[in-house]
Homo-oligomer: A and B are copies of this chain.
Amino acid sequence: MRVTELANAMDTTPDTVRYYTRIGLIVPIKSPNNGYKTYGKKTQQRLKFILSARQLDFSVEEIKGILSESDKGNTACPLVREIVEHRLAETEKQFQATLILRKRLKKAMDDWQSKPNKAPTGDMICHLIEGESEGDAHQRGNNG
């Protein structure tokens, strides 16, 4: 199988396959006559795993860790459980953040409904936004 063929079979893009190849997640055999990368059944299995993990929003780095463990013959399951737990917590945060953003956007649209458009003054760029930031603490970078 060559890159596009594999990509189609796994319902992903050739660029994605190339990317995973480039960073060593999957290892093809170089065809000796034309230098094209050739992927076998085992690699397809591996790619399937990678894509499934990506579906759960595992980062590529995390997947690399899992595969590394598995390649040494060890169970990757505990690691997988840990990651999924962490990912769920992260998703919960993301969820809340999106909620807040949505509320904020809706409020903005609502508030602006009645306001006219104004040309910028020396003190204001767009009164829609600048009249808006009361009672809402900003957040410095407290990420995870």
Listed in ascending order, the chain A residues whose CB lies under 8 Å from chain B are 10-13, 45-46, 48-49, 51-53, 55-57, 66-67, 70, 73-78, 80-81, 84-85, 87-88, 91-92, 94-95, 98-99, 101-102, 104-106, 108-109, 112, 116-120, 123-130, 132-133, 136-138, 140-141
Contacts and interface: CB of A to CB of B under 8 A. Distances in A.
A52 B130 contact: yes
Contacts of A76: 120, 125-126
Q: How many copies does the complex hold?
A: 2
The 6 closest A-B pairs by CB, nearest first: A77-B117, A70-B120, A88-B105, A11-B138, A75-B117, A70-B125
A61 to B, nearest CB: 16
A13 to B, nearest CB: 6
A19 to B, nearest CB: 12
Most B CB contacts (10 A, CB to CB) among A46, A55, A92, A116 go to: A55
Nearest to A76: B126
Contacts of A118: 75, 77
B70 A91 contact: no
A51 B88 contact: no
B99 A13 contact: no
Nearest to A88: B105
Contacts of A106: 88
Contacts of A10: 138
